[in-house]
Structure 1
Amino acid sequence: MSTETAAAAAEVVAPPPAGWEEARSRVYAVGLAAALPAVSRPLADADGHTLAEPLAPQTDLPAFPTSSVDGWAVRGDGPWQVVGRVLAGHTPPPLEADGSAVEIATGAMVPAGATAILRIEESTRTADGRVAGTPRPTPEWREPGEEAYAGEELLPAGTPVDPAVLGLAASCGHDTLRVRRRPRAALLVFGDELLTSGPPGAGRVRDALGPSVPAWLRRYGCQVRPADVVGPVADTLPAHVAALRAALADADLVCTTGGTMHGPVDHLHPTLEALGADYVVNTVAVRPGFPMLLARLVDDDGRVRFVAGLPGNPQSAVVALVSLVAPLLAGLQGRPMPVLPQVTLAEPVPGRGDHTHLALVRWDRVAGTAHPVRHVGSAMLRGLAGADGFAVIRPGTSGAAGDRVPVVPLPLTPGERAW
């Protein structure tokens, strides 16, 4: 075979890029199909996980009639003779005689036979020590099942577990929750030109993604240990294959930075081929961030793992995270497909021709408006640091002031719901 023929045979023909919305739907579907197994976690260890089963109370809520106020549980007409006291945490004997009452605390069980509760601040004592007053016409206690009935679905599977969910689960009588195991993620940083410390110079740039991508992944619910961040990996095919194979041994998702094109030192595509991966998405018609990808590997035992190829430019890498990685992780955790909120553009935002434009914006949630930020080149991070998300300008359009457009929020604090 001649040199020219060999070069032609080796030439890479790029596939057409997937549309941005199509890519999101596709990666969510493969993530959901590979949803991580359910595990039992004690409530103290369930925060940040995702419900694998609907949450339902084990008893009626409340489980018994519960006083809403401090006062007197009374039977019949007054004045009433006080025959005892009921505190929270105790089971009182019934009130058997008309004209009798017991002192009762907020949250205490209402005794059987009580016909009303008289608030302490609306009561008086007679000369002979009895209690007098007029109970309010509305019952001053919570009935069993007023909040929920035993077995009633309160939250569906796929709900992220947060402090409010933990409190509800405890009130329902649960000591543990069935949740999806949190995804394990790793990061491989590609690029011999990268510095991991000190200022950039002499043709070398500082790696900004090694410190930031793991933090983004944690905010999307992943476990990422310091040892799971590797690089810079040498710009050779054997080094790439060895690094990716090692990372995939423990991770459900491996993110890589750089090498997503077909340049002389871009080894990601040959590495994926060597490991037998298949592409879920290979390039996306979005700007910035076009050369992003998601690949899938399936072991002989059926175990599924994913590789997300993030572009080397920092802002483009974050675009790939919100476009491909966030929907994938939602699926892996059994969460619903993220629904994007709508905002009103406060200023015009240009389109990007046949590509979706993800434009960094500051989101005023009170006014419901989005304001474009400056310093938004694909290699820049200054604009990202002051932004709340990306306004979505669909292909073939541009955004005018006053237009309603979707926005992809950034998860700004650990555990914050990103969608």
Structure 2
Amino acid sequence: MTSSAATSPAGPDHLWSVEEHLEDILTTVRPLDPIELQLLDAQGCVLVDDVTVPLSLPPFDNSSMDGYAVRVADVSGASEEFPAVLDVVGDIAAGAARPAPVGPGQAARIMTGAPLPPGAETVVPVEWTDGGLGEGPVGGMRARSLAPEGATGQVRVYRPAEARAHVRAAGSDVKAGERALEAGTVLGPSQIALLAAIGRGTVRVRPRPRVVVLSTGSELVQPGEELGSGQIYDSNSFALTAAARDAGAIAYRVGAVVDDAETLRTTIEDQLIRADLLVTTGGVSVGAYDVVKEALSHVGDEEEPGGGVEFRRLAMQPGKPQGFGSIGPDHTPLLALPGNPVSSYVSFELFVRPAIRTLMGLADVHRPTTRAVLTADEALTSPKGRRQFLRGVYADGEVRPVGGAGSHLIAALAQADALIVVPEDVAVVEPGTEVEVVLLG
């Protein structure tokens, strides 16, 4: 995989737009090659080919009730006072291969899912009968279960039934030759159920991409451990790993890497074996300890021709510093995100999530957007020349901001289900203004 970032004509002082950065990512990342998987292993994967039904569902007429298979004429006019009395000729259980035919004046005890026998035209539920026990209604109530298995004799039917009542017709679900699933479908439980029902043991899909998430910073401590002076808990790697899984990936979280360029580079190289996409967070700005830039700025060149990671500034807030490129012998794509929690999460939604969905082979890789009326106590301000993404709560065509513009406000982020988009040429947004909203739910 060759990154266009490595040969980008933009100079180091170029201020990239959100669209330019995203386009560079999506023109570089390619869908993963298809593979054949067992059904349960294919859950969450994207179907590569249309699936045609080889046999109708259900494949034969069958009963939707426990009851008796009968001819319509034999129960016509049946009532509580004058029940139809029929000879029970046998039992038909689900899976029965060749049920005996039902003739005039006869009935076959039938179970739910069992094939309708030759000659039978309808099914009367057991609740409409005496259950083959030879008993009439007692206090207006009739038998609620079938007679013991293997019992023969007679059954009294107290209500008439129309033709094909309580019968599932062959092909009533789907007919042979019809398209069961379209290419591009994400396989969930119901789709896997359908594939199994039509006899498919395997299916051709694009596999779920493997995403490795690394956070950087000597100040980071893992949750559950004791904080020392100047330390904070590592939330970014947990947030981004969860976000990658939510996007459809198989995600692996690597504990925080200390601020040492060689350690980080070694860690990244060790992770390449299980990564279709690498995501780092932190160390991409201009500080003295921006370890990701130090470790990856010169990757590529002679060792990996066509590879390399470019670090750039974007006209957006939060998330101005970003990095993108490829690393390793297979040119595995790498996205380097800023370290502030909100910056990293917004960057993930805008850039990493579409990359994951592209690897999956999905046609629509973006979160849905809508227009909504801003409800706020005061006007929102935004830096001119940057596209701002504010956290918000959306409902019924309205959106209200939560928290401020600070990129460290994790509690506000936890309440948000939308991003409020303020364009680059807008500095003030008054309450009541219609705004663009990215829906995160």
Tell me, yes or no, if structure 1 residue 93 matches structure 2 residue 99.
yes
- In structure 2, C-alpha distance between the alignment counterparts of 1:371 and 1:290, rounded to whole Å: 24
- Compared with structure 1, are the counterparts of its residues 288 and 146 closer, same or farther at alpha carbon in structure 2 (3 Å cutoff)? same
Tell me, yes or no, if structure 1 residue 199 matches structure 2 residue 227.
yes
Identity of aligned residues (%): 25
Contact 1:351 1:396 in 2 (8 A): no
Give the match for residue 27 of structure 1: 25
SS of the residue corresponding to residue 154 of structure 2 reads coil
Deviates more, 1:314-323 or 1:374-383: 374-383
- In structure 2, C-alpha distance between the alignment counterparts of 1:280 and 1:330, rounded to whole Å: 22
- Compared with structure 1, are the counterparts of its residues 400 and 266 closer, same or farther at alpha carbon in structure 2 (3 Å cutoff)? same
SS of the residue corresponding to residue 247 of structure 1 reads helix
Structure whose CA Rg is larger: 2
Amino acid at match of 2:15: P
Give the match for residue 392 of structure 1: 421
Give the match for residue 266 of structure 1: 290
Contact 1:285 1:354 in 2 (8 A): yes
Q: Return the offset for 1:298.
A: 7.5
- Unmatched tracts of structure 1, length 5 or more: 1-11, 411-419
SS of the residue corresponding to residue 335 of structure 1 reads coil
Q: Determine which of 307, 330, 335 is the counterpart of 2:334.
A: 307
Superposition CA RMSD, Å: 3.3
Alignment of 1:25-174 (within 5 A): 26-31=24-29, 33-43=30-40, 45-75=41-71, 77-78=73-74, 79=84, 80-95=86-101, 97-123=103-129, 129=154, 131-132=156-157, 133-136=159-162, 139-174=165-200
Q: Return the offset for 1:55.
A: 4.3
Give the match for residue 318 of structure 2: 288
- Compared with structure 1, are the counterparts of its residues 29 and 119 closer, same or farther at alpha carbon in structure 2 (3 Å cutoff)? farther
- In structure 1, C-alpha distance between the alignment counterparts of 2:214 and 2:128, rounded to whole Å: 69
Tell me, yes or no, if structure 1 residue 342 matches structure 2 residue 370.
yes
Give the match for residue 245 of structure 1: 269
- In structure 2, C-alpha distance between the alignment counterparts of 1:345 and 1:280, rounded to whole Å: 38
- In structure 2, C-alpha distance between the alignment counterparts of 1:319 and 1:63, rounded to whole Å: 50
- In structure 2, C-alpha distance between the alignment counterparts of 1:279 and 1:119, rounded to whole Å: 70
Amino acid at match of 1:217: A
Q: Deviations over 1:114-150 (max 9, x none)?
A: 2222233334678993544311356421222211123
TM-score between both structures, scaled by the size of structure 2: 0.75
Give the match for residue 8 of structure 1: none
Amino acid at match of 2:380: P
- In structure 2, C-alpha distance between the alignment counterparts of 1:86 and 1:148, rounded to whole Å: 24
Amino acid at match of 2:324: L
- In structure 1, C-alpha distance between the alignment counterparts of 2:183 and 2:170, rounded to whole Å: 25
Q: Return the offset for 1:77.
A: 1.4
Give the match for residue 150 of structure 2: none
Q: Return the offset for 1:24.
A: 4.2
Give the match for residue 7 of structure 1: none
SS of the residue corresponding to residue 154 of structure 1 reads strand
- In structure 2, C-alpha distance between the alignment counterparts of 1:106 and 1:62, rounded to whole Å: 13
Give the match for residue 327 of structure 1: 354
- In structure 2, C-alpha distance between the alignment counterparts of 1:374 and 1:131, rounded to whole Å: 72
- In structure 2, C-alpha distance between the alignment counterparts of 1:34 and 1:62, rounded to whole Å: 36
SS of the residue corresponding to residue 166 of structure 1 reads helix
Contact 1:18 1:285 in 2 (8 A): yes
Q: Return the offset for 1:390.
A: 2.1
- Unmatched tracts of structure 2, length 5 or more: 1-10, 75-83, 137-152, 302-306
- In structure 1, C-alpha distance between the alignment counterparts of 2:163 and 2:371, rounded to whole Å: 47
- In structure 1, C-alpha distance between the alignment counterparts of 2:258 and 2:242, rounded to whole Å: 18
Contact 2:300 2:308 in 1 (8 A): no
TM-score between both structures, scaled by the size of structure 1: 0.79
